[in-house]
Every structure is written in structure tokens, then in C-alpha cells.
Structure 1
Amino acid sequence: MLEKIKNNPKLLEFIRFVIVGVGATILHYGIYLTLEHGLHFNYNLAYTLGYILSFIFNFFASTFFTFKTEANAQNGFKFASAHLINYFVHMFLLNIFIFIGIPDGIAPIFVFPIAIILNFFMVRFALKK
């Protein structure tokens, strides 16, 4: 089993993506909760600041660890473009879930699985040739 995983570069890439994604998601959610519930920021602002900080972590981790590419201006622009689209998906879903009555403290838990799947394909397209 481990030999099959080692010999499958796409599967290894996906596993690395999941590791980085989990780290970025924990960072994002931690910042969101700290700002929104701890410091009483507006949930949209708290979510945005968490997204920006996790984006910075995610760019470098995705570039060097997940996709093993260069951290250059071109990749940065493509990565940022993919994440800009993903940011709007996040914000749309967050506000929809809150609007339908999901508490703002747990609404991101419903957003993350949907946005992460979309993000994998956009980031992979942005960073891979």
C-alpha cells in the first residue's frame, strides 16, 4: 500500500495539498474565532483578515511543499487570482449560511469543505504547467 502511494505523484501531491489545506484552514478559523468572538470584530472583517493571513501561509506552503514550484511573481499572481475567486466563494457561502440561521461561530465549518475542493483545482491549475 505505501509503495503504491510513493509511486503515485498525483496522490502524493493531493496528500500534501490536504496537509497544507488543513494547516491553512486551522490558521484561518483560529484567527476568525479570535477576532470575531474574542475581540468582537464584525464577522466579515474577521473572516477576511483570517483569509489573508492563511493565504500568505498557503502560498508559500503550496509553492514549496505541495506543488514544488517556484515562488515568483507569475506564480504569485496566478495563485492570488485563484484565491480571489475562492475568497468570494467563501464570503458568499459564509453569508448564506449565517443568513439561513447557522451561528456565525460555526458557519465557517460548513464553508471550508466546499471551498477547499474548489480551491484545490484552481490552485493546481494556477501553479502547475
Structure 2
Amino acid sequence: MKCVVKIMMKIYTRNKANLHQILRFAIVGCIATAIHYTIYYFLQKHLNVNIAYTIGYIVSFFCNFFMTCFLTFRSAPSALKAVGFSFSHLINYLMHMFLLNVFLFLGVSKILAPFFVLSVAVPTNYCLLRFVFTRKNKNNQEPKK
């Protein structure tokens, strides 16, 4: 976690506009998390916890992609970005499922476990998505900010 904070501070000191990007990421993340958690909360009463979590994750994934494009990184969606976003979220999903089951095994309630998962997954996902949306293209041009 300290490493992620150092990276974020380094990004901020290089370009203060990145602070706005981090704030937009947090807002989009809160909206996506609210969608995910709301679906999970209601479904976990009727379905297996892992299935409920997965359904919530998938629904929030689609919302999150477009909000990340348009709001966080202010760029147009593309097939390449969708592939990168999907790959980063595949890693993120696997991390979520692993951590969810670890926290449940450790005795954390089904209601609170997702919040423990997010405390680890959110900073990791920001770093992955920042790479996907801000890397230079083939012509060595910076993406639109």
C-alpha cells in the first residue's frame, strides 16, 4: 500500500492535473462500487456469495468502462482500450475473488468482506488502468487528456 501511495504522490508532483485524474478515478470507482455492492448485497441473500459477487462485478464492469473512458481519462472508447480494460479487470476480478474468499475464510462477514477486498484492489486497479489509458500509441503520441 505504501508503494501505491508513493507512486500516486510521484505522479502528482510531476503534473498537478493528475490529481484531478485521481479524483475522477475515485468518483467513477465509487459509482461502480455502489452498483457492484448493491447487486451483490441483494443477490447474496438468494445465491452463492461468489455468484452474487460475480454478477455484480460484471454489471459494474460495463458501466465502469464507459465512465473510465469518458470521465476518468477523458478519451474515446476503442477496441484496444476495451481489451486493455478487460485484461486489467480480469486480473482485478481474480484478485477480488481470491481476497473475498480469504476474508470470508478468516471470519469476516459476507456484508463487510467486499470492503476489505476494495482496500487492496482499488489502488492496484488504478495503476493497471493508468497504464492502459495513458500509454503512448504506435506513433509515440500522448493520448488526449
5+ residue gaps, structure 2, are 1-14, 136-145
Q: Please say if 1:30 is aligned against 2:10.
A: no
Distance in 2, matches of 1:14 and 1:103, equals 30
| C-alpha deviation, 1:104, in angstroms | 1.2
Q: TM-score, normalised by structure 2?
A: 0.81
What one-letter code is carried by the residue in structure 1 that aligns with 2:71?
Answer: F
Among candidates 66, 76, 86, match of residue 60 of structure 1 = 66
* Per-residue Cα deviation, 1:40-99 (whole angstroms, up to 9, x for no partner): 110000000101111111100000110011211110000000000000000000000000
Segments ≥4 residues shifted beyond 6 Å:
none
| C-alpha deviation, 1:101, in angstroms | 0.7
Secondary structure of the 1:48 match is: helix
Q: Which residue of 2 aligns with 1:118?
A: 124
Q: Please say if 1:16 is aligned against 2:29.
A: no
Distance in 1, matches of 2:20 and 2:106, equals 38
Larger helix fraction of residues: 1
Q: Which residue of 1 aligns with 2:12?
A: none
Distance in 2, matches of 1:84 and 1:9, equals 28
What one-letter code is carried by the residue in structure 1 that aligns with 2:133?
Answer: L
Q: Which residue of 2 aligns with 1:88?
A: 94
1:91-106 equivalent positions in 2, closer than 5 A: 91-106=97-112
Distance in 2, matches of 1:51 and 1:123, equals 16
**Pairwise CA RMSD of aligned residues?**
1.0
Secondary structure of the 1:113 match is: helix
Among candidates 45, 53, 59, match of residue 51 of structure 2 = 45
Distance in 1, matches of 2:39 and 2:119, equals 18
> What is the total number of aligned residue pairs between the two structures?
121
Distance in 2, matches of 1:128 and 1:46, equals 32
Q: TM-score, normalised by structure 1?
A: 0.91
5+ residue gaps, structure 1, are 1-6
